Amino acid sequence: MQIYEDYWELTNEFTDYNGSKFLTVLTLCINFIDECKKQPTLQYSAELYKTLQELISQHPEMVSTKTGEPKNLASVRKSINQLVKMGFIEPFLEGYTPLSRDYVNARTNKKRQTLLSKIVYTHSAFGRSVTEHSDIRQMNFLIKTLVEHPEGKLNKSEIAALMLVDLENYPNDHLSKTELDTYLQQGIQSGFIERKYNQISYLWNLLAKLDNLKRVNDDLYFAEDAERIFGNLDDYLAKKRDPYLHRLYKNQLFEESEFYYGGRKCMLEKLSYPVLIASHIKPFIQSNDNEAYDPNNGLLLSRTLDSLFDLKYISFDDNGNMLKSKRLSDDVWQYWKHIKLDAVLLNDERKRYLAEHRNLLAQKDDGVI
């Protein structure tokens, strides 16, 4: 497979999308486009573009406070191209999405975050520039790949690997895990990931600013999945998992499943899912160092059952019978209620953790937590 390196070029003059300089450049571009539209015969030209550059360069907000010099025109061009690639304005200064005006006028940064997410998802095209059209939506491809990823996350290196995909000639709307692994290996072997560090950082920064996406260390999740896995992210980031100890913890659960069920299977359904979650019974964030990596404080579960268990919609009594939260809909309960934990899994330590889990379920039902 040939290595491509030009399809995900993201210019990034600004990293603070709420900052006064970013908002000033966006406002000046919008107003300039509006003024140009008042002259129907006016066409894009290098001279017209130069006029906009100089307008931005000489604006008081852009003039250097140290030297009093106007903003460098090369940096101005980079900032305008950033707005084009992100989807705020159109190539050749043909127009802008109405959301751009809403973005400038937003009263809060939170409102801007939502608008930014809409603009980037629906209008961005990293192959665009002021003088070049493109309808290839890299961000849509990335989000779809995250949706379809069997682990529900993309790490920073995988996101870098996505930047190698020639979307103009790629037939699908996302990469499978196998395809993603292939691009990742090629990106490492070719040195692309190392060479394109800045490009990757620009995209990583943008992803951190979008609604419903969460970066946890070097992994990108949908916010709901991140909170399900890690609980309160502020607390989690204050207490980070030890990757080696967590791997040993998961391996011990694999070994337990293999011993009792002849393979790596969900301990409730007894099915060999391609992705199994080492689900903590007592939440990781509430566990001390011994409890956090104690395999008795874990169950190997499918993603669906892990979600129900982790969010305290279900629990289990000391006989392994499933218990229902009053927050769980009856149709879901009817589907799962006959599944139980086998007695071989219910040693005294696991029963102790399950007692704490039941207590947390009750607290959630009572609105205490």
Record the tokens describing residue 116, joined without a space: 């930014």
Whole-number pLDDT of residue 224: 84
Whole-number pLDDT of residue 202: 86
On whether the CB atoms of residues 175 and 14 are closer than 8 A, the answer is: no
Question: What's the Cα-to-Cα distance from 321 to each of 169, 295, 312, 314, rounded to whole Å?
Answer: 53, 20, 15, 10
pLDDT at 208 over 50: yes
Kindly give, in sequence order, each residue whose CB lies less than 8 Å from that of residue 96, ignoring residues fewer than 6 positions away.
Answer: 29, 30, 33, 88, 89, 90
* Sequence-distant contacts of 314-321: CB under 8 A, at least 24 apart: 314/361, 315/354, 315/357, 315/358, 315/361, 316/340, 316/341, 316/354, 316/357, 316/358, 317/354, 317/358, 318/346, 318/351, 318/354, 318/355, 319/343, 319/346, 320/345, 320/346
| Residue 16: CB atoms within 10 Å | 11
| Residue 42: CB atoms within 10 Å | 12
Residue range 201-223: mean pLDDT, rounded: 88
pLDDT digits (tens, 9 = 90+) for 142-156: 999 999 998 889 988
Residue range 214-234: mean pLDDT, rounded: 80
Domain boundaries, the chain: 7-132, 137-240, 241-365
Kindly give, in sequence order, each residue whose CB lies less than 8 Å from that of residue 231, ignoring residues fewer than 6 positions away.
Answer: 283, 284, 285
Average pLDDT over the chain reads 90
CATH pick for 137-240 out of 1.10.10, 3.50.4, 3.10.450, 3.30.2420: 1.10.10
Q: What's the pTM?
A: 0.65
pLDDT band at 348 (very low <50, low <70, confident <90, very high): very high
Record the tokens describing residue 272, joined without a space: 């060999």
Residue range 160-170: mean pLDDT, rounded: 89
Record the tokens describing residue 156, joined without a space: 């920073």
Strand partners, 279: 299
Burial code (b: 16+ CB inside 10 Å, e: under 16) for 290-317 equals ebbbbbbbbbbbbbebbbbbbbbbbbbe
d(CA 227, CA 284): 12
pLDDT digits (tens, 9 = 90+) for 37-93: 999 899 999 999 999 999 999 999 999 888 889 999 999 999 999 999 999 999 999
pLDDT digits (tens, 9 = 90+) for 296-334: 999 999 988 988 898 899 999 999 999 999 989 899 999
| Residue 196: CB atoms within 10 Å | 19
